[in-house]
Amino acid sequence: MAAAGILAFFVLPPKRVFIEADGTRKLVVSRNTDLNSLLKLAGVSREANDVVVRDEGSYRVERAVPVTVEVDGKLMTWRTRAGTVQAVLDEVGVEASPYDGITFNGVEVGVRESLYPGPLAAIPSGSLASFALQGAGPDEVNLNIRRAVPFTIVEDGQPITFKSARPTVAMALRDAGIRLGPADEVFPALTAELVAGQEVSVKHASAVTIRTGDSSRVVYTHQRVLKDALAEAGLSLGPEDRVEPDLDAAVRNGMTARLVRVAGRSLIEREDVVRKTVFKPDENLQGSQTRIVQGRDGLHVREYRIVIEDGIETERKLISDKFDPEPVDNVIYYAASSVRATGVRPDNFQVQKVERMYATWYNAASSGRPDTDPHYGITASGVPVTRGIVAVDPNVIPLGTRLYVAGYGFAVAGDTGGGIVGNMIDLGYPDGVTPDGPTGWIDVFILAP
């Protein structure tokens, strides 16, 4: 026997075999060629549906994938080498209708969905044991099957029965090809749970294009008559408005209605009228005396009748033109003698603005020149200083400006002075005349040219 053993050792020497499983590769040295024995020596176990692929000098164990199938309230477990969802269902004996909903590891799939990347999805499940799977597959397969339930859709009064595995009414209608538009009515609500035998009512709103002039808009309505649809859209009609087609026309989806506005309206324009300030002589006043009568601002009101057709103004007619109230001028009464003294004629003069100024007075003698000086009493404008000639700062009041000085009378800005700066005015008088004009802060009326 010892000789036989020695002979066997030399005639049948041990073989070196590599066993690959679960990401590891082990070397086994044995004269035993039985696969199960080699796997046992390598410490590798085989579970249901595991596949051993033989290659020259090695064996590779490809594991089946754990499967759970949840359907009809049951939970089934399995191990599979199947390549598609359908193949897994065939292995566990579960039938799925085209309307049933299937999720593979939480993702919605069809029965032909592959469980592995690559071309193996096209290989029949019964043939997979003969092929080495290329590419990483899932660690486990969790299939959930939601059975479709029958329900009835009543679309605009027309019933039709469908099946759906969707959880909500909205998803079931989408699968049934029901397209919903603005203002469509669905009962029960789109978010409601879909229940077996349920009736879902869908009432589509009609789209109506309303044209007004060059503009148009689309409204969606469930009204049956055009008149009611226009009212629902907030379009009020005037007594002369025209609608095409007729207001009593039946509402149809996709129809166009033209609204022609034929009406008149009133347009009232209001314009503020600022009172003027005018000057009038008063024979009862003497010297620089004045009397002021305050007026009031007015309002100019014009009323037009406007005719509009189809949104376009075709006529505008003035039907009323009045003042309400009428403006009343401010009147400054002055002594007629002051005009004769100064030679300033206030006829048609209007007040541009009023300046608040500090008034002083001067004459030729106060100018600082001796009466023998050729320029004695001559103003900056070349005329002798007298009543009605005043000195101003030309940066405030240009030379030549017509003025009315309260308590002094009409005047012309005809002189300047080194001490007259800003809102100051120096009232001129001839020599030998006692000044009767104001001093201190006064109102100076700037007259229009």
Average pLDDT score over residue span 159-164: 93
The residue out of 24, 45, 62 marking a domain boundary is 62
Q: What is the pLDDT of residue 131?
A: 37
Q: Total structural domains in the chain?
A: 6
**In a domain? residue 372:** yes
* 223-251 pLDDT tens trace: 999 999 999 988 888 887 889 899 999 99
The pLDDT, as a whole number, for residue 318 is 92
pLDDT value of residue 128: 41
For residues 379 and 56, the model is more confident at 379
What pLDDT score does 57 carry?
79
In a domain, 419, yes or no: yes
For residue 354, being part of any structural domain is answered with yes
Give the CB-side neighbour count of residue 92, counting CA atoms within 13 A.
Answer: 27
Above pLDDT 90, what percent of the chain?
A: 38
Q: Are residues 156 and 134 in the same domain?
A: no
Report the CATH number at residue 157: 3.10.20
Does residue 354 sit in the same domain as residue 421?
yes
Instruction: State which of 109, 127, 146 marks the end of a domain.
Output: 146
Strand duo 277-282 + 298-309: pairing: unpaired
Q: With 90 as the cut, is the pLDDT of residue 262 above it?
A: no
- If asked whether residues 288 and 347 sit together in one domain, one would say no
Whether residues 86 and 29 share a domain: the answer is no
Average pLDDT over all residues of the chain: 84
Say whether both 379 and 411 belong to one domain: yes
What pLDDT is attached to residue 127? 42
Q: What is the CATH number of the domain that holds 315?
A: 2.20.230.10
Q: Which residues contact 81 (CB under 8 A, 6 or more apart)?
A: 49, 51, 62, 64, 65, 125, 128, 129, 133
Most confident of 118-122, 360-364, 437-441: 360-364
Is pLDDT at 130 greater than 50 in this prediction?
Answer: no
Which CA distances in Å does 125 have to 48, 88, 91, 164? Answer: 15, 8, 9, 29
Domain interval for residue 21: 2-62
Task: Tell me whether strands 242-244 and 290-293 are parallel, antiparallel or unpaired.
Answer: unpaired
Distance of CA 167 to the CA centre of its chain: 35
pLDDT higher than 70, residue 342: no
Q: What is the arithmetic mean of pLDDT over 213-223? A: 89
Structure confidence at residue 312 (pLDDT) = 77
pLDDT surpasses 60 at 71:
yes
The mean pLDDT value for 275-289 works out to: 80
* Residues 347 and 437 reside in one and the same domain: yes
Instruction: Establish if 26 belongs to a structural domain.
Output: yes
- Say if residue 21 is exposed, middle or buried (CB neighbours under 10 Å; 0-12, 13-18, 19+): buried
Count CA within 13 A, CB hemisphere, residue 406: 15
Least confident of 74-78, 168-172, 340-344: 340-344
Express each pLDDT in 272-281 by its tens digit: 998 888 888 8
Q: Are residue 55 and residue 73 in the same domain, yes or no? A: no
Tell whether 353 and 431 lie within a shared domain: yes
- Could you tell me which residue, 376 or 117, shows the higher pLDDT? 376
pLDDT 10s digits, 9-38: 455 678 888 888 888 888 888 888 788 888
Could you give the percent of the chain with pLDDT greater than 70?
Answer: 89
pLDDT at 126: 43
Domain presence at residue 323? yes
Are the C-beta atoms of residues 296 and 325 closer than 8 Å to each other?
A: yes
Q: Quick check: is 324 in a domain?
A: yes
Domain boundary among 260, 276, 294: 260
Q: Are residues 76 and 133 in the same domain?
A: yes
Q: Domain for residue 375, yes or no? A: yes
43 occurs within a structural domain: yes
For the segment 415-447, what is each residue's pLDDT rounded down to a tens digit?
998 889 999 999 999 998 888 888 899 989 998
The secondary structure element, H or E, covering residue 443 is strand 440-447
